[in-house]
Amino acid sequence: MSNTPTSLNVPIMRLDRQYTALQEEFEAAALTVMRSGIYILGDNVKALEAELAERTESGFGIGVANGTDSLYLALRALNVGAGDEVITTPMSYIATSEAIVRAGATPVFVDIVDDATYLMDVSAVEKAITPNTKAIIPVHLYGQAVNMDALMSLAKAYHLAVVEDCAQAVDATWKGKPVGGFGDMGSFSFFPTKNLGAFGDGGMLTTSSAEKAQLLRQLRVHGQTSTYDHAHEGMNSRLDELQAALVRVKVPHLSAWGDARQRIAQRYTESLEALSVLELPRTQTDVGHVFHQYTVALKAEAGLDRDAVVARLQERGVGVRVYYPIPLHLQGMHHDLGYTAGAFPVAEKACKHVLSLPIFPELSDDEQRYVIETLKKILS
């Protein structure tokens, strides 16, 4: 007889559990900052920058206001602008391509490999390179690294910059090396639902270039080189001291939380692999997957209505989500690029059929069993 509860409410994410577990540390850190009177670019920001630089095997970290700004500032620091093209994937959050447009450049998309990894097809990148190509933004989607050996070899051959979009992939690795340390720059988000999340917005850039790090620190403060001396057109994008202090409380727990996510992902895979209508996520060889999301796809040949399946799961208290239902090349803001349906069939197919199951370190065994059994009942 199954011990699975007959009814539960299992959201896609429960941030309050993390807070409860570390409540004293969070509140002590926040109180220390408030009493200090230093709220912008203080010691906690500097310490977090150093910690993430070490964690990514980069030389420098630069705290900024959010992950979107970090992508934009990376492109700015690499002198990407009007007339330039930046190659990226159509399967990502809009921030990836939005940053390219914001920098004045043109996004150029290449398809994903398949609907089990959802990652940029590196073999398609070379065909997309033109004389105007200036950079590549690989997205380590759902917590899994793109093939960085192949990508960096290609970038080097064509003298292209690489900005890694690591928003969902802190601590993910390629052949044992952490993401954010391969390209010219790594871009991270501390949005609350990320594997390393703040209590509001926040972001970080990593780089091994002292020159670029200095420029980024200037760009995030209105292009300021010294007090009231502004050599560049910058912006106001500073990581708050309070957010940095709260994120720092989480850093020592990140590896354990990553292990928990991997255990949960393994249980999902072992429990769901018999369902012939599901394409389960596949971890590439040589990759350390941190499972920001556990994303499955309903096989097209099964003829199931993804939105109907999602609705039935949500009615039963299973907080599944769809990331992302519309690929970037078909977003309204990119209509001027001239892409039409069918341009990137693998990504378009995935966007129509994917759904993500609840996964977070504090997810209980009972909750996971309920998700699994409910999904099995609906799909049977």
Residue of 229, 223, 166, 209 whose CA lies nearest to 78: 209
Give the C-alpha distances (Å, rounded to integers) separating 346 from 52, 338, 351.
34, 18, 9
Q: List the domain boundaries for the chain.
A: 18-251, 253-379
- Specify whether the CB–CB gap between 17 and 362 falls below 8 A: yes
Token duo for residue 76 = 């700015």
pLDDT in tens, 65-79: 999 999 999 999 999
Q: Assign domain 253-379 one CATH number from 3.30.1060.10, 3.30.70.600, 3.90.1150.10, 3.40.50.150.
A: 3.90.1150.10
Distance, CA of 152 to CA of 183 (rounded, Å): 7
Residue 274, pLDDT > 80, answer yes
Q: Is the dihedral of CA 189, 235, 239, 16 positive or negative?
A: negative
Amino acid at position 335, single letter: H
Q: Is the pTM of this model over 0.85?
A: yes
Q: 109 pairs with which residues across the strands?
A: 88
Token duo for residue 280 = 């389960």
Could you give the angle at the alpha carbon of 203 between the alpha carbons of 227 and 228, nearest 5°? Answer: 10
pLDDT in tens, 121-138: 999 999 999 999 999 999
Note the pLDDT of residue 4.
66
Q: Determine whether domain 18-251 maps to CATH 3.40.640.10.
A: yes
Residue 2, pLDDT > 90, answer no
- Specify whether the CB–CB gap between 232 and 218 falls below 8 A: yes
